[in-house]
Chains A and B, each alone.
Chain A
């Protein structure tokens, strides 16, 4: 027994390379963001000025708009994904291949190209409007508006909502449904009282998996918003890539991380066993 424990202690050291790696490339970079956020451009003295500069009128506006668009897209994703996850979970076997076909396969077509293709689809003289006008329907003019960005977010992040919900739904014991039916519950009641409560971990995990990338994207707004709509991701990207203002950019990143920490805490609370994970 002692030999085993000694072996075990030795084995724990196998995590050492990762520990060093994580310290160097996960922890230290985050500390650098914190450092830059609280120091001044010249001299590096402690200051809070970066935050007050970061949160002047237009950045706050961008942040609110990002929160709004991310929230709307997350809601749409949830509404679209839940029935889909249920339909997939009903299939007894063979759903695995189908899910991979539907959700993983598109990833092999570059994400930027896929999003960019929506431009061709949505444009004034684009594919969708050609079809609409052929059918004699009014044209759809959402390119370069917030709606196009929401569409892009839903399109890109829908899988992150479907997979966790699906993974929770297939684990629910089918007998629970039978019991509910035996006890006289109708389909709606079963759904409301059984399916939804039991799938909460998946829903929460799905919401964080969609909300965070939607909140922080700068590519989708760039490609589908016609550079007319500035999200917080665009502002941060500009601070680093164009204005070279690392301190203010870091302050903004730090504020974004608050949202990330909140969602980490929420999902850790509701999903203790990691049931609603992506995998």
Chain B
């Protein structure tokens, strides 16, 4: 029996800690891909401390958790004292209200706060996150303090009053020490909850501010940077060490029986908790603060809020821009056009530069969300090839609103070891023998483009019958699909997780360099050719800085850097000339030739009604 119990505990323990150990192991992995082990390294621990945005997110997380838990502890303790003194009816109202955040689901709470902030015209950012965290922390404090208040002996307090103490003095000297353990555990619980929160922060945060949670979430799809693993390992190890010293010391078990001199170790533990921990925390805050403000103290002349696709430029370029122009870049990313659009439309955040795709630019123009660009401020536009400016006119007649940034096609990336037949048609994505080895695009237009093209229709179809056909196809395909992904497709293909993936041409080149078994093809039925361009939203606050940013991005050396980082095709012909590797410069994967392009269509904006139909059909596919 005892063995069984032990065994059971061990099983649970393994289940709870297996992921944590996995993450720790990954923090020492040389390979960036979590799919395979490349050898031992400490590199990620070094680069962690040079990684400003991760350190910034860590600092935000800590400062928000600390401020939120301190403020919540004050308000919550006062509230507990007040509630304890109340009449029965008002107390039960307060208790009921306190229960709401505890039992309410995080998503409902996050959404309701987001609505409040947007309607109340509060700019989403640090303060809104802080308010939300305080709100969900107060109940934890009350839950810890109120029971302690009920337990205390009232007579001591009354005695103190009789002996001439003022009420405040008596309270401070008699009651507060009694409820202190409750206050402390309420504070610690709040701090931990704040630190681990994702959902509520996700709904109430604004651009340019990230906590560790939201940063990780935005990285999940495109692959988490290994520095995240090393940071978590450090945090975890620190807390484990503290806990081991404080809680697991053997003296604690005997504390009741032998109340003599506490041992040295125990005393050391006590000192650690009382002195070292607060000091360490203070040090973190102060140094973090210096670090934080050092960034903003380098006198910036202005700022530019950039909203871009995930992993869509070499991040060094942003630093370079800041150095050369003195304009501070606030940078945020999105995954798909559909995620970006409502954010711009709601106007809750004023972005200065955005990089949407062709059809989305058309939609934004029609909804008056863009403003004309002053090309006098963008002399570098001369480096963009004529053919791309012409393609742009399909959605931006007269080239008034947009500057091409990247372009490419959509095709099939397949693993030659797993697929032994020639891939020429979209049909292969419906072959049952590749069940669970197919990765589809997780965005409406791309997914429908594949099905429509396979059926021989235009990918801008508005014909209900054709769309129903396409939906039918996607539904029959769903059982074969391993996952619907966006940026993750690349890493999964590199890690040999799947045989076939629908992928953007830019991702294909990178995947091929990492895994030579991969091959990219644009199927014979044709596909989508797309263009992503810089635009300036109508409500931009820093238009001139935005133009300076776009101009900088069009500089051949910068465009080349971005190309080398993302491997997406650039319309910047001057930069293409600078590519040293001839094989890449002339590669048809990177720069598709006329023959391939003649088979491809660009997406058009189809109007709100058709868009609604696409969304509905796609949601039906996803929820099937």
Write the residues of chain A forming the contact surface with B, with a CB cutoff of 8 angstroms.
3-4, 7-9, 11-19, 21-22, 25-30, 32-33, 36, 57-59, 61-62, 80, 83-84, 87, 93-94, 96-97, 100-121, 123-125, 127, 141, 144, 155, 158, 208, 212-213, 215-219, 222-223, 226-228, 230, 233, 235-237, 240-244, 246, 249-250, 253, 256-257, 260, 263-264, 267, 274, 277, 279
Which of chain B's residues have a CB closer than 8 A to the CB of A100?
A: 243, 247
- B615 on the interface (CB 8 Å rule)? yes
Bound Cα distance A262, B240 (Å):
38
Residue ID in chain B nearest A126 by CB atoms:
B35
Q: Judge whether B85 and A12 touch: CB under 8 Å.
A: yes
Q: Judge whether A61 and B623 touch: CB under 8 Å.
A: yes
B478-502 vs A, CB cutoff 8 Å, 1 = contact: the mask equals 1001111100000000011100000
Q: Judge whether B75 and A17 touch: CB under 8 Å.
A: yes
Q: Say whether, besides A112-B220, A113-B228, A87 and B5 are in contact (CB < 8 Å).
A: yes
B28-42 vs A, CB cutoff 8 Å, 1 = contact: the mask equals 000000110000000
Which of chain A's residues have a CB closer than 8 A to the CB of B76?
A: 18
B156-188 vs A, CB cutoff 8 Å, 1 = contact: the mask equals 001001000001000000000000000001000
- B106 on the interface (CB 8 Å rule)? yes
Residue ID in chain B nearest A214 by CB atoms:
B105
Partner of B107 from A114, A216, A222, A244 at Cβ < 8 Å: A216
Question: Known pairs A103-B16, A213-B105. 6 more at Cβ < 8 A?
Answer: A8-B85, A12-B85, A14-B82, A29-B115, A108-B236, A113-B229
Q: Judge whether A263 and B103 touch: CB under 8 Å.
A: yes
Complex interface residues of chain B between 231 and 288 (CB less than 8 A to chain A)? 232, 235-236, 239-240, 243, 247-248, 252-253, 256
Chain B min CB distance to A67 (Å): 13
Bound Cα distance A67, B336 (Å):
29
Q: Say whether, besides A101-B243, A213-B106, A226-B482, A110 and B79 are in contact (CB < 8 Å).
A: no
Q: Judge whether B82 and A108 touch: CB under 8 Å.
A: no
Partner of A108 from B113, B195, B199, B341 at Cβ < 8 Å: B195
Partner of B19 from A25, A121, A236 at Cβ < 8 Å: A121
Which of chain A's residues have a CB closer than 8 A to the CB of B119?
A: 32
Q: Say whether, besides A62-B623, A112-B198, A216 and B247 are in contact (CB < 8 Å).
A: no
Residue ID in chain A nearest B79 by CB atoms:
A18
Partner of B619 from A28, A58, A213 at Cβ < 8 Å: A58
Which of chain A's residues have a CB closer than 8 A to the CB of B151?
A: none
Q: How large is the interface on B (under 10, 10 to 19, 20 to 34, 35 or more residues)?
A: 35 or more
Which of chain A's residues have a CB closer than 8 A to the CB of B144?
A: 279
Q: Say whether, besides A33-B115, A109-B236, A102 and B23 are in contact (CB < 8 Å).
A: no
Complex interface residues of chain B between 58 and 106 (CB less than 8 A to chain A)? 75-76, 78-79, 81-87, 90, 94, 97-101, 103-106
Which of chain A's residues have a CB closer than 8 A to the CB of B216?
A: 110, 112-113, 116
Bound Cα distance A58, B579 (Å):
49
Which of chain B's residues have a CB closer than 8 A to the CB of A97?
A: 243, 247-248, 252
Q: Judge whether B138 and A21 touch: CB under 8 Å.
A: yes
Q: Which 10 A-B pairs have the closest CB atoms?
A: A15-B82, A226-B483, A244-B342, A29-B112, A18-B79, A117-B19, A216-B105, A97-B247, A14-B82, A58-B623
Q: Judge whether A112 and B19 touch: CB under 8 Å.
A: no
Which of chain B's residues have a CB closer than 8 A to the CB of A118?
A: 19
Among A111, A116, A223, which residue has the most Cβ atoms of chain B within 10 A?
A: A116
Which of chain B's residues have a CB closer than 8 A to the CB of A22?
A: 94, 97-98, 138
Which of chain B's residues have a CB closer than 8 A to the CB of A104?
A: 192
Which of chain B's residues have a CB closer than 8 A to the CB of A242?
A: 336, 338-339, 342
Q: Judge whether A212 and B105 touch: CB under 8 Å.
A: yes
Q: Judge whether B116 and A32 touch: CB under 8 Å.
A: yes
Q: Judge whether B107 and A218 touch: CB under 8 Å.
A: yes
Which of chain B's residues have a CB closer than 8 A to the CB of A219?
A: 198-199, 217
Chain A min CB distance to B441 (Å): 10
Residue ID in chain B nearest A18 by CB atoms:
B79
- B196 on the interface (CB 8 Å rule)? yes
Q: Judge whether B97 and A26 touch: CB under 8 Å.
A: yes
Q: Judge whether B220 and A228 touch: CB under 8 Å.
A: no
Q: Judge whether A32 and B112 touch: CB under 8 Å.
A: yes
29 A-B contacts (beta carbon < 8 Å): A12-B83, A14-B85, A17-B78, A17-B79, A18-B75, A18-B79, A18-B138, A25-B113, A25-B134, A28-B116, A29-B113, A32-B112, A32-B119, A33-B111, A84-B8, A84-B9, A87-B5, A94-B252, A105-B236, A116-B224, A117-B23, A120-B35, A124-B497, A226-B485, A228-B483, A241-B339, A257-B108, A260-B103, A260-B105
- B426 on the interface (CB 8 Å rule)? no
Which of chain A's residues have a CB closer than 8 A to the CB of B483?
A: 144, 226-228
Bound Cα distance A260, B99 (Å):
11
Which of chain B's residues have a CB closer than 8 A to the CB of A111?
A: 196, 198, 213
Complex interface residues of chain B between 130 and 147 (CB less than 8 A to chain A)? 131-132, 134-135, 138, 142-144, 147
Bound Cα distance A257, B213 (Å):
25
Bound Cα distance A224, B87 (Å):
49
Which of chain B's residues have a CB closer than 8 A to the CB of A246?
A: 115
Bound Cα distance A277, B484 (Å):
40
Q: Judge whether B12 and A80 touch: CB under 8 Å.
A: yes
Write the residues of chain B forming the contact surface with A, with a CB cutoff of 8 angstroms.
5, 8-9, 12-13, 15-20, 22-23, 26, 34-35, 75-76, 78-79, 81-87, 90, 94, 97-101, 103-109, 111-116, 119, 131-132, 134-135, 138, 142-144, 147, 158, 161, 167, 185, 189, 192, 195-196, 198-199, 203, 212-213, 216-217, 220, 224, 228-229, 232, 235-236, 239-240, 243, 247-248, 252-253, 256, 336, 338-339, 341-342, 345-346, 436, 442, 478, 481-485, 495-497, 615, 619-620, 622-624
Bound Cα distance A3, B164 (Å):
13
Q: Say whether, besides A15-B86, A213-B106, A230-B622, A114 and B20 are in contact (CB < 8 Å).
A: yes
Bound Cα distance A28, B87 (Å):
24
Bound Cα distance A28, B224 (Å):
37
Q: Say whether, besides A123-B35, A155-B16, A26 and B213 are in contact (CB < 8 Å).
A: no
Partner of B81 from A14, A29, A263 at Cβ < 8 Å: A14
Chain A min CB distance to B62 (Å): 12
Partner of B78 from A18, A61, A113, A277 at Cβ < 8 Å: A18
Which of chain B's residues have a CB closer than 8 A to the CB of A277?
A: 143
Partner of A123 from B134, B195, B196, B497 at Cβ < 8 Å: B497
Q: Say whether, besides A12-B85, A22-B97, A244-B346, A215 and B236 are in contact (CB < 8 Å).
A: no
Which of chain A's residues have a CB closer than 8 A to the CB of B104?
A: 257, 260
Chain B min CB distance to A25 (Å): 4
Chain A min CB distance to B357 (Å): 15
Q: Say whether, besides A18-B76, A113-B224, A216-B105, A106 and B16 are in contact (CB < 8 Å).
A: yes
Which of chain B's residues have a CB closer than 8 A to the CB of A36?
A: 115
Partner of A244 from B100, B345, B497 at Cβ < 8 Å: B345
Bound Cα distance A87, B239 (Å):
26
Q: Judge whether A110 and B167 touch: CB under 8 Å.
A: no
Chain B min CB distance to A272 (Å): 12
Chain B min CB distance to A64 (Å): 10
Q: Say whether, besides A11-B81, A94-B253, A141-B436, A240 and B114 are in contact (CB < 8 Å).
A: yes
Which of chain B's residues have a CB closer than 8 A to the CB of A16?
A: 82
Which of chain A's residues have a CB closer than 8 A to the CB of B482?
A: 144, 226
Bound Cα distance A155, B22 (Å):
15
Residue ID in chain A nearest B212 by CB atoms:
A110
Bound Cα distance A101, B245 (Å):
12
Q: Judge whether A93 and B478 touch: CB under 8 Å.
A: no
Partner of A114 from B23, B79, B199, B620 at Cβ < 8 Å: B23
Q: Judge whether A26 and B620 touch: CB under 8 Å.
A: no
Q: Judge whether A125 and B112 touch: CB under 8 Å.
A: no
Q: Judge whether A155 and B19 touch: CB under 8 Å.
A: yes
